[in-house]
Amino acid sequence: MKNGITRFDFHLNLLQELLVKSSKQKNPALWLYQNNARTPLFMLEGLCKLYAGIHNKKKFKKLKEHVKLLEDAIGQIDYYDAFAKEFMANKKMPQPITNYLLAQSREKIQSLNEILLEHQWLGEDYSRIAKIRKKLAKADWQNEKEDIESIHQFYITAINQVLEFINQKDFHFTNVEKDLHEFRRMIRWLSIYPQALRGCIQLNQSKSVTAKFLSKYLTKAITGSAYNVMPDAGDQKQFLLLDKNRFYALSWLIAELGNLKDSGLKTEVIKEALMQTSKITEQGALAKAYKLSGRGHQTLQQVLTASENLCRTFCKEKNLETLITGVAAVKK
């Protein structure tokens, strides 16, 4: 069996196991959310994005749509539920805001339950996984050497798309979702692909002296993170190699932008709740949201400016251009 399809099988098996267990629950959607079903969905979505850029574009694009629909639905639950739990512990947060977020969370859970049935992930038909496997069996899988060469070219393209995006913006962000979140989403895929690909991407420790500017990224939290440990290579002989310290730098940037994004989204979700639960203008809701967020909480503009500065420094160091160190073959 070719390496490409075995990667899909691995993550599909994890997802299928979760779906089977969720089918025995009173609330399958809630159970899936609480038991990290989003991770195998992310992995599958990453594989679909990657292989759509390599071969069988139409086939993998369609598969990605099915997976992304499920992943997005869980993401919506997480968005409202996480803030609801945070605000429930804050006595200064008005109850109507927390109640609104709890109601939204319940609504998103119900929406996911409907998607699970309508798209045959669960229910009497329960055929979505089987249909995906059938389509995968008919894909034009490449041999190991061709596969790695294609992944290499795809990775280069993905990096160039990130650089094109940030250069078009000229490092100027005006919107948390469309700018900050989108840039973070693009670079985050670069860290998800190695996990999704199950070991054919490995980190390479440069023999040259580590550039001093990289030291700021090499924190204990980053270098010791399980997310930065590549999956075991198994019996693979062909590898795409990434520079270890620059991959760590990428991971650091993703984490920092994530913190800034969450800060901005906290303001946005409070503003949304205020506008939905009271008669208030958008400007008034934003002003009140800042007050409710707590002393020292950054404004949206401060979040965007801080994000711009981080991205500008990271990109001007050419960390993305030098992330890939090459392709290697190992004799076994």
125 and 150 co-located in one domain: no
Q: Of 137, 158, 190, which one is at a domain's C-terminal end? A: 137
What pLDDT, on a 0 to 100 scale, did the predictor assign at position 209?
56
Query: Is residue 49 a contact partner of residue 39, using CB atoms and an 8 Å limit?
Result: no
Using the 3D structure, point to which of 86, 103, 137 is the last residue of a domain: 137
Provide the pLDDT for residue 2: 87
Q: What is the chain's mean pLDDT, rounded?
A: 94
- CA dist list (Å): 306 to 185, 216, 302: 17, 16, 6
189 and 317, same structural domain? Answer: yes
Banded model confidence at residue 235, pLDDT cuts 50, 70, 90: confident
> Which tens digits make up the pLDDT trace of 184-198?
999 999 999 999 999
CA-based R_g, the chain, Å: 22
- pTM for the model stands at 0.94
Domain boundary at 137, 163, 182, which?
137
The Cα-based distances of 9 to 62, 254, 299 in angstroms read: 17, 28, 44
193 plus 325 within the same structural domain = yes
Confidence band of 253 (pLDDT split at 50, 70, 90) = very high
Q: Are residues 186 and 275 in the same domain?
A: yes
Identify the CA nearest to 12 among candidates 58, 47, 59, 49.
47
Give yes or no: residues 161 and 297 share one domain. yes
Residues 130 and 216 in one domain: no
Residue 215: burial class (beta carbons within 10 Å; 0-12, 13-18, 19+): exposed
Q: Determine the pLDDT at residue 208.
A: 61
- Do 30 and 124 lie in one domain? The reply is yes
What is the residue type of 221?
A: A
Structure tokens given for 278? 């009271």
Query: pLDDT tens digits, residue range 3-61?
Result: 999 999 999 999 999 999 999 999 999 999 999 999 999 999 999 999 999 999 999 99
81 with 228, same domain: the answer is no
pLDDT in tens, 262-283: 999 999 999 999 999 999 999 9
Q: Are residues 178 and 259 in the same domain?
A: yes
Give which of 253, 265, 243 is closest to 324, Cα–Cα: 243
Taking CA atoms, 316 is separated from 204, 206, 219, 321, in Å, by 22, 20, 20, 10
Q: How many domains is the chain built from?
A: 2
pLDDT at 229: 94
Check residue 124 and report its DSSP letter: T
Residue range of the domain that includes 104? 3-137
Q: CA-CA distances (angstroms) from residue 2 to 14, 53, 141, 218?
A: 19, 18, 6, 36
Query: What pLDDT digit, counting tens, does each position of 269-326 carry?
Result: 999 999 999 999 999 999 999 999 988 889 999 999 999 999 999 999 999 999 999 9
Is residue 170's pLDDT more than 90? yes
Report the run of H or E that residue 33 belongs to, with start and end: helix 28-34
Same domain (yes/no): 158, 301: yes
Same domain, 150 and 272: yes
Residue 211: pLDDT over 80: no
Shared-domain flag, residues 199 and 256:
yes
